[in-house]
């Protein structure tokens, strides 16, 4: 009999020891897509955003890259502010 029947995906991730990594990846993807959506709605280019953030376009590319986890909270807050948005963080 399969002991995994009825267990949740969260249980599987915990058993594999990758729950935190998968969650961090999902959060970064969501944030990246939300920032890109805001950029599109504000009709700003990556170059214009970089200028407003006083940074390079390469840094903006890293910010918008859903697979790059090295973005700081400070950078996210600044980018959100420039785009007329705010960042909310919750630990549950």
Statement: residue 2 has pLDDT above 70: no
Average pLDDT over residues 47-53: 97
Indicate the pLDDT class of residue 32, thresholds 50, 70 and 90: very high
Q: Are 69 and 25 in contact (CB under 8 A)?
A: yes
Widest distance between CA atoms in the chain: 60
In order of start, what are the domains of the chain with their CATH numbers?
9-82 (1.10.260)
> Is the alpha carbon torsion for 30, 35, 41, 44 positive or negative?
negative
Indicate the pLDDT class of residue 62, thresholds 50, 70 and 90: very high
Residue 92's pLDDT is 85
The 3-state DSSP class for residue 71 equals coil
Which residue matches tokens 């090295």?
Answer: 70
Statement: residue 10 has pLDDT above 70: yes
Assessment of whether the complete model's pTM goes beyond 0.85: no
């Amino acid at each position: 009999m399969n002991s995994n029947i009825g267990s949740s995906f969260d249980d599987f991730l915990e058993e594999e020891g990758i729950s935190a990594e998968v969650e961090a990846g999902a959060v970064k993807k969501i944030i990246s897509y939300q920032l890109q959506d805001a950029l599109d709605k504000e009709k700003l280019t990556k170059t214009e955003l970089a200028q407003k953030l006083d940074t390079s376009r390469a840094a903006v590319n890293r910010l918008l890259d859903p697979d790059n986890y090295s973005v700081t909270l400070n950078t996210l807050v600044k980018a959100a502010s420039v785009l007329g948005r705010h960042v909310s963080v919750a630990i549950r």
